[in-house]
Amino acid sequence: MKARFAPFWPPVVVGAIIVLGWEGVVNLFDIKEFLLPKPSSIVRALGDQWTPLREAGWETGKTAVVGLLAGVVMGALLALVISRFAWLRGSVTPLAVALNATPIIALAPIFNAWFGITDFRSNMAVVIVVVFFPVFINTAKGLTEVEPNQIELMRSLAASETTVLRMVRVPNALPFFLTSLRLSAPLSVIAAIVAEYFGGPQNRLGPFITQNASFSRYANAWAAIVVASAIGLALFAMSAVIEKVSMPWKQGDPAAT
């Protein structure tokens, strides 16, 4: 909320310092292109490689977005199921927290074995699992951590469990859910790229980066990173907009973060 009233120049200035400082340092110390390419070289590479980058970005973006949506839907659905059954909640939630602490990306080679090493589903499965856990854990928290008075009120009005879910738990969980969406949106792109390292179709950003890096064409690799960041940022921005629009009651609330 604070950002709405804050002047926009500080992030712009910091951004300019980063880019110009980078350019300046590379020039000043005569750092070799294969160690750290200049921002200007990266921009040039972006132009030269635009056709393959656009295709790779589109394909990787598709994996990330579809995986993100599937992971979000699965996480939210399981959270809904869990919220109805207390006995499940006691065992599933700690298990999810524990699994969330494991390096899920290491599952990529196993998914290759499951779905085939050149199959896009192997990459997508990694994205789904990476997105699933934070969404599930956060949504389950929002569905269960409801103000006790509100539950008592609904009970005193003879509301059914389903009504309580619909009128209290789901709206209460909405901010938790949307926060997890915003956090996992950029994660989905990173997960897709790392998964592509292990296998999957070749016309993607992950292989593009490794191939160019192995031929020491680092400016091209950096250009692919820029494309990946742009996709991640776009997903992040979209989630942030959804977050604002779908919770009108938070507009201008100083308590809302």
Partner 1 sequence: MTDPAIVASGIGKIFNRNSDNAVTALTDIDLSVEPGEFVSLIGPSGCGKSTMLRIFGDLISATTGSVEVFGKPASQARLDRDYGMAFQKAGLFDWRKVSANIELPLELAGWSKDRRAYRSQEMLSLVKLQDFGDNYPWQLSGGMQQRVAIARALSFEPKLLLMDEPFGALDEMTREHMQVELLRIYREAGTTVVFVTHSIPEAAFLSDRVVVLSPRPGRVHSVIDVDLGVRNEDTRESERFFRATTEIREALRSVEANS
Partner 2 sequence: MTAVVRSGLALPSPAPILRALRRMAAGAVAMAMVAVAWETYKWMGGRTNDHWPGTSFGLPVRTNDLVMPHVGTIWGALWDPVQRGRSQTLAGFLFQSARFTFNEAAMGFAIGTVIGLFLAVLMLRFSTAERGLMPWINISQTVPLIALAPIIVTWGRGTFLSDTQAVSIIATYLTFFPVAVNALQGLQSPAKADLELMRSYAAPWSQTLWKLRVPSARPYLFPAFKLAATLSVVGAIVGEISAGVRGGLGRAVLNFATIYSTGPEKLYAAVLASAMLGLFVFVLVTGVERIVDRNQNRGESGNTTREA
Minimum distance between the CB of residue 244 and partner 1, rounded to whole angstroms?
14
Nearer to partner 2, 7 or 252 (CB): 7
* Cα(245)–Cα(256) distance, integer angstroms: 14
Instruction: Return the DSSP state at 250.
Output: G
**Binding to partner 1 by residue 255, rule CB under 8 A?**
yes
Which of 74, 99, 159, 165 forms a contact with partner 2 (CB under 8 A)? 99
Angle value at C-alpha 134, between 92 and 229, nearest 5 degrees: 160
* Cα(122)–Cα(112) distance, integer angstroms: 5
**Binding to partner 1 by residue 152, rule CB under 8 A?**
yes
Whether the Cβ atoms of residue 238 and residue 54 lie closer than 8 Å to each other: no
Paired tokens of 126: 């990694």
Which of 153, 230, 233, 241 forms a contact with partner 1 (CB under 8 A)? 153
* Phi, psi for residue 202 in degrees, rounded to 5: -90, -20
Which of 51, 149, 162, 257 forms a contact with partner 1 (CB under 8 A)? 149
Interface residues with partner 2 (CB under 8 A)? Answer: 3, 6-7, 10-11, 13-15, 18, 32, 34-36, 91, 94-95, 98-107, 109-110, 112-115, 186, 189-190, 193-194, 197-198, 205-206, 209-210, 213-214, 218, 221-222, 224-225, 228-229, 232-233, 236
